[in-house]
Chain A
Amino acid sequence: MSSTLDRPALGEERGFWGAAMAVLRKDLLAEWHTRERLSTMVFFVLLTLLVFNFSFELGGAALHQIGPGVLWSAFVFASLFGLHHTFAAEQENNCLDALLAAPVSRGAVYLGKMAGNLLFLLVVELLALPFFALFFNLSLEAYLLPLLGVFALGAGCLSAVGTLFAALCSNLRLRELLLPLLLLPMVAPVIISCVGTTAMIFQERNPEEYFPYLRILGVYWVLFSALSLILFDHVVEE
């Protein structure tokens, strides 16, 4: 999987950031070759929107009430796919062992993987947004900028905890089932804050009103990125 990587010359060492970038580059390249993760995630979001539309008869007045919840439910469930793939893909041919045997900090591996998940999730959110607008006859121009901000924060929080938990679950039996069980209660503050903020953006409220939510998202992101960076070593240790 990593054969396409340009390896540093013998004796040359990558620093912490260089190693993280290398992991990120490897994941992006692998995804570029297969495009399996992005395509399934985007398609899943579309299908979720479809199912929710039949369940709630979205559109009209109901959309503003439950639209944000629908959007974020779709993102969170889609993120589970992407996150599971992060370490599941590495288990073929024991790639993970090789990755961990590299003489770089484990924190750098976490950071690279986390950045990859963050990017994938952001791309999925951006690709799904036009469909959301199209299906439910919503003109998004006025909301676009604040929405992008919430998307970035939400994706950051989801990938910070999600990457750690994906690594954790890759060592367990029933890993596909356990990842949602662990992650969903854990990201409850993220879901609440993102849905709350998105709803307020659609209602064209003053940004000051949703600032408390953004503060929770910011604290969550910083706190769990730092904690995951410290704890990742214990998760992948052999």
Chain B
Amino acid sequence: MSSRLSGLFAGLVFLSMGLALYMVFIYAPTEAQMGVVQRIFYFHVPSAMTSFLAFFIVFITSIQYLRTRQEKWDQLALSAAELGVVFSLIVLITGPIWAKPIWGAWWRWEPRLTSMLIMFTMYVAYLMVRAYGTRPLQTRRLAAVLGIVGFVNVPLVHFSIELWTPEQQLHPQQVSLDPHMAYTKYASNLALFCFFFYLLHWRCQLEKGSRLLAQLRRQAEALLPEEKR
């Protein structure tokens, strides 16, 4: 991406964020039963969707990396996984804050919450594999395998927990939102998606830069005479 395009994108992120914040705190009406705490919904749900999007990107780019072995897919997978972990952490933090006044407890072993936690631990383990690999090329392949297997597991985790605690389904299954609330939710979604892609782009650039630097360093070391290495 050229710097001008990147600047435009940054502007879009800034504008959509501003709009979303305005809508969340001023435009959207206060929910009748839950009160002001319900406004956390506009951060909680879009963050969950963004983390799913991130892990889906990890899945697709992992397949692509194993097929083509092009480094760009691996950089994308790593960047998306890191961001996915950050966004799912936001979900896991905002969830209990919302749950305490509404469900009466910080945590319930409820299907969606539990699935999110298991998914979060799975991708933290993915990042650990990235960190504890011994050879870069091999580690990328192993991470790609994990990125595929982990994503396939997500629906199975969800179904099994749903069977485990059928009476505990506390998340509303169908929500009909007031149009004002629905627009606010769309705006929040848009803002977070834009923000996610913006971060993804820069995280990829950072990874590309650091790999290039490591390569140059190795080349420079090879040029040095033996005793100075």
Contact = CB atoms under 8 A, between A and B. Distances in A.
Interface of A: 161, 164, 168, 171-174, 178, 181-182, 184-186, 188-189, 192-193, 196, 212-213, 216, 219-220, 223-224, 227-228, 231, 234-235, 237
Contact of B129 (A168, A212, A219): A168
A216 B138 CA distance: 32
Contacts of B119: 185
B148 interface: yes
A188 B111 CA distance: 12
Contact of A192 (B121, B138, B142, B161): B161
Interface of B: 66, 118-119, 121-122, 125, 128-129, 132-135, 138-139, 141-142, 144-146, 148-150, 152-153, 156-157, 159-161, 163-164
Contacts of B157: 188-189
Given A168-B142, A172-B142, A185 B125 contact: yes
A185 B144 CA distance: 17
A213 B162 CA distance: 11
A161 B157 CA distance: 14
Nearest to A190: B160
A235 B163 contact: no
B199 to A, nearest CB: 25
Q: Which among B119, B122, B134, B149 has the greatest number of chain A C-beta atoms within 10 A?
A: B149
B160 A189 contact: yes
Given A216-B156, A231-B145, 14 more contacts: A168-B142, A171-B133, A171-B139, A172-B142, A173-B132, A185-B119, A186-B153, A188-B161, A189-B156, A196-B163, A213-B160, A224-B149, A227-B152, A231-B148
Contact of A182 (B139, B146, B159): B146
Nearest to A174: B132
A222 to B, nearest CB: 12
Nearest to A189: B160
Contacts of B156: 189, 216, 219-220, 223
Contacts, number: 89
Main secondary structure of the interface of B (DSSP, over half): helix
Q: Which among B121, B150, B156 has the greatest number of chain A C-beta atoms within 10 A?
A: B156
Nearest to B166: A212
Contacts of B159: 189, 216
B129 A231 contact: no
Given A168-B142, A189-B159, A196-B164, A234 B129 contact: no
Contacts of B149: 161, 164, 186, 224, 227-228, 231
A181 B128 contact: yes
B8 to A, nearest CB: 39
A18 to B, nearest CB: 26
A41 to B, nearest CB: 23
A168 B145 contact: yes
B150 A186 contact: yes
A237 B153 CA distance: 24
Given A189-B160, A219-B156, A171 B146 contact: no
B122 A178 contact: no
A1 to B, nearest CB: 24
Nearest to A237: B141
Q: Which among A168, A188, A223, A234 has the greatest number of chain B C-beta atoms within 10 A?
A: A188
13 contacts: A164-B149, A168-B142, A185-B122, A192-B161, A219-B156, A220-B156, A223-B152, A223-B156, A224-B149, A227-B149, A231-B66, A234-B141, A235-B141
Q: Which among B134, B139, B144, B159 has the greatest number of chain A C-beta atoms within 10 A?
A: B159
A193 B148 contact: no
A227 B160 contact: no
Contacts of A172: 129, 132-134, 139, 142
Contacts of A185: 118-119, 121-122, 125
A224 B119 CA distance: 17
A238 B73 CA distance: 20
A188 to B, nearest CB: 5
Contacts of B152: 223-224, 227
Contact of A186 (B122, B135, B142): B122
Contacts of A228: 149
